[in-house]
């Protein structure tokens, strides 16, 4: 049975397995646990088979059809057998390694470019006249991450509002948030005037009584509830009633209107989607703006407005209300102080003296390693052949000033800690920020440093291999076609390929998937997917790397296994880099 062209994938293989059994229901599941993967890779559970076949017995011809599945998008299958657990399938692993490691997974997954359309991501938190707070920061980080995920899938994205020059946005720059700014101070006067003209003819609008105590002059009041009842709008707060419209209100709508007009046309049947990424405390105000825009513009894009609502951000033990910039500086100071508390003079002196001699890549790993010790994770793995050499350099090297390199590492770790703290929880759930000094080693902040550390370990591995090649210790890595992937027999190697390299493009697709239009206004998105994927990948990679020697003795009979492992870990490194790019986190190996 031949399937469609493309890279082997989980969805395509599951679809082929279901079709082979001749049943429309999804009977098969992909295994992921190490224990089950020792015996099978896919399973049609006994309960599902009992519901689909008399007595749960699959006809022999159906079993044969499963075994004979072929196709570029389908994993090569080795055996299909019926057991007490159900119908089990194993993959021909050497061939799967060959097909998936041929072209390494690049920054953009194979599916990139297949989706079309335009999405406007609107983050009302950036309109707040007050200083940003952690709850605002959560929605901004989420919108920035979602924009990167959508762009990786070929979607054109517009971010609104543009940042004004009047305010300082240092915390956004420090967090590597790439948000457009209104550098030229563009005018929206014409669009605002057009909206005013529509408002003047609107039956829902009425003049205001004098003396309404508002900070900004009120143009008129609009009866939202009557319009909502006429249109049969669902999902809005029942307390929405009268809105006092100001010049600022219309400027907000004008900027959204302009963003929609800038979206490229993708065909007559497509339309720009509007997603308001808003924290729960500002949801009511955004619903008011939503309905007003529908009143003033009956176009299809206003009917496609959706609200992606972030849950509350609770800050424990605050001595006073804390702003986003203070939150960043606090986490940064804690990152630095954690090293001093743990290592004392070593952190302030020896690390610094070693960095110039080791080079940026090795130094990044050494600096990161102490954070893992702080978190109770062993730094020295079987693959870290250069770590002992680095520690010797710490004791031997003369003093050098490396404040800049040290600051860059601390900054990168701080950004990673905050982004994982904010984004590894489902957006609709509450986040609790513990600001105590010891909170820097909790799961929420540790995980970002842990991911960065493992990414840097890979850079050090390949840097060490390249130096060994230049010194003549090892031959260069051969072409993929000459590699012997039957040497990859470790359980951890199949785990890395089957659970991470294989599904990675689909993970990015899932994270960027926005629900289709529906009658309600709230939507959910799996924006926590990438952070959770990176954390789990780091755990399984670290377990494998601590157990297995990658760069062994330079004996020719060991080269086949070493080269196959390097090819596998090169693909793992690329996945790290691609996933971190969706978070605007450059790997520390490039500092």
Query: At 156, which CATH number?
Result: 3.40.50.620
153 and 24 belong to one structural domain: no
76 and 143 belong to one structural domain: no
On whether residue 391 sits in a domain, the answer given is yes
pLDDT by 10s per residue, the chain, length 591: 333 346 899 999 999 999 999 877 789 999 999 999 999 999 999 999 999 999 888 999 999 999 899 888 999 999 999 999 999 999 999 999 999 997 544 444 434 345 568 999 999 999 988 889 999 999 999 999 999 999 999 999 999 999 987 777 899 999 999 999 876 556 788 999 999 999 989 888 888 765 555 556 888 999 999 999 999 999 999 999 999 999 999 999 999 999 998 887 554 345 789 999 999 999 999 999 999 999 998 888 888 899 999 999 999 877 778 899 999 999 998 878 765 654 444 445 444 444 443 444 445 455 555 444 444 444 445 555 443 344 333 333 333 335 677 778 788 889 999 999 999 999 999 999 988 766 554 344 467 888 998 999 999 999 999 999 999 999 999 999 999 999 999 999 999 999 999 999 999 999 999 887 777 899 999 999 999 999 999 999 999 999 999 998 999 999 999 999 999 999 999 999 999 999 999 888 643
Q: Which helix (H) or strand (E) holds 268?
A: none
- Cβ neighbours for 462, distance < 8 A, ≥ 6 positions apart: 566, 569, 570, 573
CA 98 to chain centre: 27
306 and 356 belong to one structural domain: no
Contact, 62 vs 21, CB < 8 A? Answer: yes
- Cβ neighbours for 513, distance < 8 A, ≥ 6 positions apart: 525, 526
The CA distance from 257 to 297, in Å, is 9
357 and 272 belong to one structural domain: no
On whether residue 105 sits in a domain, the answer given is no
On whether residue 565 sits in a domain, the answer given is yes
Helices 387-396 and 351-374: angle between axes, nearest 10 degrees:
130
496 and 357 belong to one structural domain: yes
For 267, counting Cβ atoms within 10 Å of its Cβ (0-12 exposed, 13-18 middle, 19+ buried), the class is exposed
On whether residue 267 sits in a domain, the answer given is yes
- Cβ neighbours for 362, distance < 8 A, ≥ 6 positions apart: 386, 390, 460, 463
Structure tokens at 587: 């790997």
478 and 359 belong to one structural domain: yes
The CA distance from 135 to 444, in Å, is 16
373 and 516 belong to one structural domain: yes
212 and 281 belong to one structural domain: yes
Instruction: Write down the pTM of the prediction.
Output: 0.87
At which residue do the structure tokens 């559970």 appear? 45
**Coil, strand or helix: which one is 171?**
helix
- Cβ neighbours for 313, distance < 8 A, ≥ 6 positions apart: 133, 134, 135, 137, 138, 279, 430, 431, 433
Domain boundary among 268, 294, 313: 313
230 and 358 belong to one structural domain: no
Give the count of domains, the chain: 3
Domain boundary among 281, 313, 345: 313
On whether residue 69 sits in a domain, the answer given is yes
Q: How many residues does the chain have?
A: 591
Structure tokens at 372: 């893992």
The CA distance from 122 to 157, in Å, is 10
Contact, 225 vs 243, CB < 8 A? Answer: no
Domain that holds residue 531: 324-590
On whether residue 246 sits in a domain, the answer given is yes
Structure tokens at 137: 């920061």
448 and 361 belong to one structural domain: yes
Contact, 456 vs 375, CB < 8 A? Answer: no
61 and 80 belong to one structural domain: yes
On whether residue 59 sits in a domain, the answer given is yes
206 and 287 belong to one structural domain: yes
DSSP class of 166: T
DSSP letters, 137-164, are HHHHHHHHHHHHHHHHTT-EEEEESPBP
């Amino acid at each position: 049975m031949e399937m469609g062209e493309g890279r082997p994938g989980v969805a395509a293989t599951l679809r082929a397995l279901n079709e082979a059994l001749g049943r429309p229901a999804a009977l098969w599941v992909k295994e992921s646990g190490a224990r089950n993967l020792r015996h099978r890779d896919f399973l049609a559970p006994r309960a599902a088979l009992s519901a689909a076949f008399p007595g749960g017995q699959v006809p022999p011809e159906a079993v044969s059809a499963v075994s004979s599945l072929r196709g570029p998008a389908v994993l090569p299958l080795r055996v299909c057998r019926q057991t007490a657990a159900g119908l089990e399938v194993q993959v021909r692993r050497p061939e799967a390694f060959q097909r998936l490691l041929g072209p390494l997974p690049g920054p953009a997954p194979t599916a990139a470019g297949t989706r079309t359309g335009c999405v406007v991501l609107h983050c009302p938190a950036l309109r707040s006249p007050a200083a940003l707070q952690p709850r605002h920061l959560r929605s901004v980080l989420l919108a920035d991450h979602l924009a990167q995920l959508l762009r990786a899938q070929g979607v054109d994205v517009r971010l609104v509002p543009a940042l004004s020059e009047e305010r300082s946005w240092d915390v956004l720059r420090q967090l590597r948030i790439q948000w457009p700014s209104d550098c030229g101070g563009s005018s929206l006067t014409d669009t605002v005037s057009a909206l005013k003209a529509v408002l003047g003819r609107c039956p829902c609008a009425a003049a205001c009584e004098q003396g309404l105590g508002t900070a900004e002059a009120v143009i008129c009041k609009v009866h939202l509830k009557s319009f909502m009842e006429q249109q049969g709008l669902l999902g809005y707060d029942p307390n929405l009633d009268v809105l006092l419209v100001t010049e600022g209100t219309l400027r907000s709508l004008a900027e959204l209107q302009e963003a929609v007009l800038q979206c490229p046309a993708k065909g007559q049947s497509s339309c720009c989607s509007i997603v308001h990424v808003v924290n729960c405390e500002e949801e009511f105000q955004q619903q008011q703006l939503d309905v007003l825009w529908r009143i003033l513009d009956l176009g299809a894009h206003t009917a496609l407005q959706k609200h992606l609502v972030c849950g509350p951000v609770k800050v424990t033990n605050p001595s006073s209300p804390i702003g986003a910039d203070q939150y960043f500086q606090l986490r940064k100071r804690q990152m630095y102080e954690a090293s001093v508390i743990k290592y004392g003079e070593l952190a302030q002196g020896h690390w610094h003296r070693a960095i110039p001699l080791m080079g940026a890549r090795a130094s990044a790993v050494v600096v990161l390693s102490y954070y893992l010790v702080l978190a109770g994770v062993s730094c020295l793995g079987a693959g870290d052949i250069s770590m002992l050499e680095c520690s010797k350099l710490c004791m031997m090297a003369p003093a050098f000033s490396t404040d800049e390199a040290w600051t860059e590492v601390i900054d990168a770790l701080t950004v990673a800690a905050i982004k994982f703290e904010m984004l590894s929880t489902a957006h609709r759930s509450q986040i609790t920020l513990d600001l105590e000094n010891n909170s820097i080693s909790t799961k929420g902040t540790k995980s970002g440093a842990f991911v960065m550390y493992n990414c840097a370990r890979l850079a050090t591995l390949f840097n060490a291999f390249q130096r060994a090649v230049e010194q003549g210790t090892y031959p260069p890595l051969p072409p993929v076609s000459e590699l012997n992937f039957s040497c990859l027999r470790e359980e951890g190697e199949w785990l890395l390929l089957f659970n991470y390299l294989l599904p990675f493009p689909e993970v990015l697709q899932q994270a960027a998937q926005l629900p289709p239009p529906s009658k309600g206004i709230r939507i959910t998105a799996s924006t926590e997917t990438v952070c959770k994927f990176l954390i789990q990948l780091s755990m399984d990679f670290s377990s494998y790397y601590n157990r297995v020697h990658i760069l062994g003795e330079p004996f020719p009979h060991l080269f086949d296994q070493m080269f196959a492992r390097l090819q596998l870990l090169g693909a793992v490194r690329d996945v790290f880099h691609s996933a971190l790019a969706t978070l605007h986190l450059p790997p520390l190996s490039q500092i």
